């Protein structure tokens, strides 16, 4: 029962670049977004409206949003942790905002400086304002399998957070393995927990590849019928509050796997590889996609 189509949100410009030590100019981020949409991405997570003291790389959020050439058939999303972030974001006309909570109390504290319950209190007015303005709302759920501070996370924690997200009107949720420790059955249990509050069309998979498990986890999710995923072009990234965690699974690698399975993504792999090379060369580092490296070595 594999889905016939998969929708990928490339989170490279946000999740990918938020943790870069070297400053990445806004113009480079804008060009990356441009290249991703040229490759056929229909959803792009562009930036975040968070405190520049916490995440300096995203301080150019408004400049990047103003610089991109919008396409009517592409959905541009941004992270907003609170009303202050939402108000700054709304001026840049995002199609979707993302509130981001954690299934782990300790990670919630480290990442957004409040408990899970407090985070929901902060998100509630953001969700309400977004929906009233006709902006879609997604909820990222971090550490759904493991936490850098608490270790293993029980599926009940994921169900708890998903229920809270549902309660405040979040339309769809991401099951994120922030530190990439998940393996297929653990990821399956986390997704099942999310499915106690959301249907299969409103649950997505967000897998980091720290332990090399992200494609296996993607396959596990696809085999459950999940058809929405987040990944980063050339495997960019990591989270500043999850030390040592690597980037998301590379979008190129996900597309290659799905192509091989006959599952349509609408993405042109060659153009996607070009986009990944563009940003890898800019950062001065090897391309993080195995597929891109293999194709380019031919
Ligand atoms: P706080 O310090 O508790 O906030 O931070 P505060 O309300 O006390 O405000 C403190 C200062 O921040 C004030 O400025 C505010 O104005 C300012 P000051 O008076 O000191 O000059 N401030 C803001 N500035 C800009 N935009 C805002 C904003 N809010 C307050 N929105 C806060 C709380 C949430 C702001 C902070 O903890 C923060 O910015 N955290 C962001 C963390 C982050 O971006 N993490 C990475 C994204 S999550 C992730 O990567 C995981 C994900 O990919 C899924 C996965 O893989 O798991 C999504
Ligand atoms: Mg992430």
CA diameter of the chain? 53
Q: Which residues are catalytic?
A: 239
pLDDT value, residue 101 = 98
According to the model, what pLDDT value does residue 156 have? 98
Burial 251-285 (b: 16+ CB within 10 A, else e): bbbbbbbbeeeebebebebebbbebbbbbbeebee
pLDDT one-digit tens code per residue, 222-244: 999 999 999 999 999 866 677 77
Predicted local distance difference test score (pLDDT) of residue 245: 77
Residues of the chain with pLDDT under 70: 238-240
| Ligand 1 pocket: which of 51, 174, 232 to mutate (most atoms within 8 A of CB) | 51
ipTM: 0.98
Half-sphere exposure of 59 (CA within 13 A, CB side): 10
- Mind spelling out the 3-state secondary structure of 71-83? CCCCEEEEECCCH
User: Cβ distance 207 to 177 under 8 Å?
Assistant: yes
Q: Which residues surround ligand 1 with Cβ inside 6 Å?
A: 15, 18, 48-51, 54-55, 81-82, 84-85, 100, 111-113, 140, 142, 176, 178, 206, 208, 239-241
Taking CA atoms only, the protein residue closest to ligand 1 atom 23 is: 51
């Amino acid at each position: 029962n594999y889905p016939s189509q998969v929708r990928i949100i490339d989170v490279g410009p946000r999740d990918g670049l938020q943790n870069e030590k070297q400053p990445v100019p806004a113009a480079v981020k804008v060009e990356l977004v441009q290249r991703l949409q040229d490759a056929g991405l229909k959803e792009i997570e562009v930036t975040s409206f968070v405190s520049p003291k916490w995440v300096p790389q995203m301080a150019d959020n408004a400049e990047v949003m103003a610089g991109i050439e919008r396409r009517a058939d592409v959905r541009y999303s941004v992270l907003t942790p609170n009303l202050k972030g939402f108000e700054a974001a709304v001026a840049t006309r995002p199609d979707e905002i993302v509130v981001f909570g954690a299934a782990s109390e300790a990670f919630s504290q480290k990442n957004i400086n409040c408990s899970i319950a407090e985070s929901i209190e902060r998100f509630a007015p953001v969700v309400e304002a977004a929906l009233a303005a006709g902006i879609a709302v997604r909820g990222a759920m971090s550490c759904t399998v493991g936490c850098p501070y608490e270790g293993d996370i029980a599926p009940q924690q994921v169900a708890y957070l998903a229920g809270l997200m549902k309660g405040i009107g979040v339309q769809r949720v991401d099951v994120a393995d922030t530190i990439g420790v998940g393996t297929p059955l653990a990821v399956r249990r986390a997704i099942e927990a999310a499915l106690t509050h959301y249907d299969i069309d409103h649950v997505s998979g967000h897998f980091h590849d720290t332990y090399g498990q992200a494609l296996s986890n993607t396959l596990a999710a696809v085999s459950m019928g999940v058809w929405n995923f987040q990944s980063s072009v050339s495997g960019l990234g990591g989270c500043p509050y999850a030390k040592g965690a690597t980037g998301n699974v590379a979008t190129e690698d996900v597309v290659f796997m799905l192509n091989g399975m006959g599952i349509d993504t609408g993405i042109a792999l060659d153009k996607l590889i070009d986009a990944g090379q563009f940003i890898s060369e800019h950062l001065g580092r090897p391309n993080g996609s195995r597929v891109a490296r293999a194709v380019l070595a031919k």
